[in-house]
Amino acid sequence: MRKLALSDELLMQIDKAARYIGGEVNAVVKDKDAVDIRFCMCFPDVYEIGMSNLGMMILYDQFNEREDVWCERLFSPWLDLDKVMREQKIPLFALESQDPVRDFDFLGITLGYEMCYTNVLQVLELSGLPLRSIDRTEGPLVIGGGACAYNPEPLAAFFDLFYIGEGETVYDALFDAYKENRENGGTREDFLIKAANIPGIYVPRFYKAAYNEDGTLASFEPVRDDVPSVIEKQLVIDMAKDYHAIKKPVVPFIKATQDRVTLEIQRGCIRGCRFCQAGMIYRPTRERPVEDLKASAHEMLQTTGHEEISLSSLSSSDYSHLKELVDFLIEEAEGKAINISLPSLRIDAFALDVMSKVQDVKKSSLTFAPEAGTQRLRDVINKGLTEEVILKGASEAFHGGWNRVKLYFMLGLPTETEEDMKGIAHLAEKIAETYYDIPKDQRNGKVQINVSTSFFVPKPFTPFQWCGMFREQDFIEKAKVVKNEIRSMLNQKSIKYSWHEPDVTILEGFLARGDRRCADVIELAYKKGALYDAWSESFHYDLWKEAFAETGIDIDFYTLRERSTDELLPWDFIDAGVTKEFLVREWNNAKQETVTPNCRARCSGCGVRKYKGGVCYEGKD
């Protein structure tokens, strides 16, 4: 029987002890003496968030299919346990074996969002590992992956390796190289050299950055002749042959954020929204065969006992076999009390018909994401959504019995004017009017429209990667414009408005487009107590301000400044598929308010045809 790393007494003292004990249904337990490689897979946030991460679960399942690898899970301890572990010097441990992280060969950290960066340092420190990779001569090799790895430079000092791309493709080669190096008596450095020559693997210590007097990047190049100057993203092209379908997802003991079976129906997005990093870095769009999805859905429902299945995609409506798949799931769910969740739908007649079949949706709200308040600004961001379509969708929803709508917008988008800000209130008002056009005796009570605005953050590998942001007070003023305009609307009582805090947005902007020099700020902020920055109750911007002041790093240089398209960017050494020429073209199209058709309507020559698959080759032999 496993011995838990935490005593019963301690488990009784902390919140949600089930986060730390492992042993869940479908958790993989192996004989550690019978495997060659032990991999600790970490999501640097609480258990409930990490257990909802599909990418982590895919790799966990895939790695454990190898007889010579045992992959275990790790999540950031919450603040109560963090305090106890430091006081009692308890080393951080993996869930399955309860063994210390320092006993593993690899520590893999998923980087899903920038505000988890101080949690990365928490994981390293509680594991007893030096924060900087240059100071680690033993213990697990620390490898990062995920969306934020597409600009790894702010964290480069803390990682031994990064993996750029989708994990199914390269890890087998990495594990084989590790075993070979160890069998041959190779050193840690020898392995890193081998790893650096595996496609998609970036080893920061083998590269150097130089800067101009104005602080911009002057050069970025390898310090060795035997490592590549460009790191090419890796991805699964044949979704029928190479996609790793999870057979037995781990079932959490406590309710996870996404407490359901997740069925990934496709990767990528055809839409080309200019603000969306995922829509660019996951190109081209690749669909999973519908028969594979049916088999996966049936198997995962059988092996988990979950009562809900969710279709995962950046834009579910664009999956070409959606109707067939949904009809199958409805039949599969009949009489079994299984709910079907369909996020990322474009609200139209088909979507509403589907949703009315699969869920008791009349008790919930519908979600629209216009992103901008005017058609002009929606054209700038290439949203591909007209006011006519939005109002028609709202009207059909209201006639179908819905009376609650959530609207998501962004403030601070490039070229935004006061008219665009006020347009958010006007669009909400028009949607309310659409509801009240229905005869009173046919309405379902009062309408409730919840308007939410976040502040725009430019991300690498998007057409907006060059644009500047705003100061904290500027963002607040923008929110006030929207708030005051909503108050002037005839149907103001039907409209509720909320907005995100601007200080988090500004810090996210710094971390998203930062370079190697940012590591000093991250480390100092962490040492001052910054942790769980994604959580409002534990985010302390003052600690970051102190870190900026003491390191002498100017956050405005990274956030406010509009970059020239000729400037060398910290992530330019990564080939993410989309070409810089395409991104520049789209940046210019945005300024000219020119819409670019979606990938199925017309190819825009973004560069990803070189992968020879996906939507680029649909219908072609």
What pLDDT is stored for residue 605 in this prediction?
97
247 vs 26: CA distance, rounded Å: 10
> Does 245 lie in the same domain as 185?
no
Instruction: Please state whether beta strands 217-222 and 207-211 pair in parallel, antiparallel, or not at all (unpaired).
Output: antiparallel
183 in the same domain as 75: yes
- Give me the number of domains the chain comprises: 2
CA-to-CA distance for 250 and 295, rounded, in angstroms?
Answer: 18
**DSSP run (H or E) holding 431:** helix 418-436
191 occurs within a structural domain: yes
For residue 269, being part of any structural domain is answered with: yes
Residue 313 sits in a domain whose CATH number is 3.30.750.210
Query: Cα-flanking dihedrals φ and ψ of residue 279, to 5°?
Result: -65, -20
Q: Are residues 133 and 182 in the same domain?
A: yes
On whether residue 568 sits in a domain, the answer given is no
C-alpha closest to that of 77 among 36, 148, 17: 17
> How far is it, in rounded angstroms, from Cα 107 to Cα 149?
15
DSSP 3-state assignment of 174? helix
Same domain, 38 and 168: yes
Residues 346 and 300 in one domain: yes
Measured at the CA of 110, the angle between CA 7 and CA 543, to 5 degrees, comes to 80
- Tell me if 450 sits within 8 A of 498, measured CB to CB: yes
CB 81 within 8 A of CB 92: no
In a domain, 59, yes or no: yes
Q: Using alpha carbons, list the distances in angstroms from residue 210 to 220, 517, 568.
A: 7, 11, 11
Q: Which of 188, 204, 232 is the last residue of a domain?
A: 232
Which pair of tokens denotes residue 209? 């950055």
Give the DSSP H or E segment for 71. strand 69-75
Q: Which of 568, 498, 506 is nearest to 541 (CA)?
A: 506
CA–CA distance, 315 with 195 (Å, rounded to integer): 35
The secondary structure of residue 14, as a DSSP letter, is S
Per-residue tokens: 268: 């990528």
Domain for residue 201, yes or no?
yes
Expressed in angstroms, the distance from the first to the final Cα of the chain is 56
Q: Is residue 99 part of a domain?
A: yes
Cα gap 609→512, rounded to integer Å: 27
CATH number of the domain enclosing 76: 3.40.50.280
As a whole number of angstroms, the distance between CA 243 and CA 123 comes to 30
Of the three residues 232, 251, 280, the one that is the final residue of a domain is 232
Same domain, 180 and 318: no
Residue 462 lies in a domain: no
The pLDDT of residue 513 is 98
pLDDT value of position 399: 86
Q: Residue 307: what pLDDT?
A: 83
Domain boundary among 169, 204, 232: 232
pLDDT means per 10 residues, the chain with 621 residues, are 90 96 96 97 97 95 97 98 98 98 98 97 98 97 98 98 94 98 97 98 98 98 98 96 94 87 95 97 97 94 88 92 91 81 76 69 71 97 93 88 92 98 98 94 91 98 98 97 97 96 96 98 98 96 98 98 97 98 98 97 97 89 51
Contact, 105 vs 38, CB < 8 A? yes
Compute φ and ψ for 470, nearest 5 degrees.
-125, 165
Predicted local distance difference test score (pLDDT) of residue 331: 86
From the CB of residue 235, how many other CB atoms can be counted at a distance below 10 Å?
26
What's 3's DSSP letter? P
CB burial class (10 A; 0-12, 13-18, 19+) of residue 269?
Answer: buried
Q: Running DSSP on this structure, what letter comes out for residue 83?
A: H
The H-or-E segment that residue 220 falls in is strand 217-222
Please check whether residues 210 and 88 belong to one and the same domain.
Answer: yes
220 is a domain residue: yes
Are 77 and 20 in contact by the 8 Å Cβ rule? The answer is yes
Strand partners, 287: 266
Residues 250 and 118 both lie in one domain: no
Find residue 202's DSSP bridge partners. 162
Residues 252, 218 within the same domain: no
Question: Same domain, yes or no, for 215 and 257?
Answer: no
Task: Look at residue 236 in the predicted model and tell me its pLDDT.
Answer: 96
Are 98 and 126 in the same domain? yes
CA 32 from centroid of its chain's CA atoms: 32
Tell me the two tokens of residue 345. Answer: 């739908």
Range of the domain at 35: 8-232
The residue type at 577: G
Q: What is the pLDDT of residue 361?
A: 43
If asked whether residues 209 and 167 sit together in one domain, one would say yes
- Tell which residue, 262, 259, 351, has the closest CA to residue 58: 262
Three-state secondary structure readout of 299-330:
HHHHHHCCCEEEEECCCHHHCCCHHHHHHHHH
